[in-house]
Amino acid sequence: MSNPSDLRYLPTHEWAKLDGDVVTVGVTKFAVEQLTEPTYLELPAVGKVLTAGQAFGVIESVKSTSDVNSPVAGTVVERNELLVDDKATRRAADLSLVNDDPFGKGWMVRIKLAPGATLDHLLTAEQYDAQLASEGH
């Protein structure tokens, strides 16, 4: 499996992409394949303060329920509203974006890094590939 080389990864299958001091976060293609067809996603509100490695959301499929963890410390500044129900307009969440394009349109939140926080502790694509290989995937 090839994971994009410009992203960093948590061993629990989240990816992080740094742009200035804002980090975009989602789950990897491998995570989606393990979950199979997400049916529900819970995302934190904008303004929520997260610590690295802490669960910020829940993703469910027909088969299982899993936490989604924050790769970094910081504050949620944006979330992908297309992935959650919009009660006002009655627009249903479109989790096919996560299913079909987990590294792109399926992004989940953008986090403004806490002062001094970095991505240095995260796995590189090469390290994450090696982790998946060592787990037999």
Please, which residue, 40 or 113, has the CB nearer to other proteins?
40
When the beta carbons of 65 and 127 are compared against other proteins, the nearer one is 65
Shortest Å distance, C-beta 136 to other proteins: 11
Whole-angstrom distance between the N-terminal and C-terminal Cα of the chain?
A: 8
25 or 59: CB nearest other proteins: 59
For residue 34, the minimal CB distance to other proteins (Å) is 9
How does DSSP classify residue 44?
P
Q: How far is the CB of 62 from other proteins (least distance, A)?
A: 4
Picking from 77, 38, 25, the residue whose alpha carbon sits closest to that of residue 17 is 25
What is d(CA 30, CA 27) in angstroms, rounded to the nearest whole number? 8
Max alpha carbon distance in the chain (Å)?
Answer: 46
String of b and e for 87-108 (b: at least 16 CB within 10 Å)?
A: eeeeeebbbebbbeebbeebbb
List of residues contacting other proteins (CB under 8 A): 36-37, 39-40, 42, 58, 60-65, 67
Q: Which is nearer to other proteins, 85 or 124 (CB)?
A: 85
Question: How far is it, in rounded angstroms, from Cα 66 to Cα 125?
Answer: 22
In the complex, minimum distance from the CB of residue 70 to other proteins, in angstroms, rounded to a whole number: 16
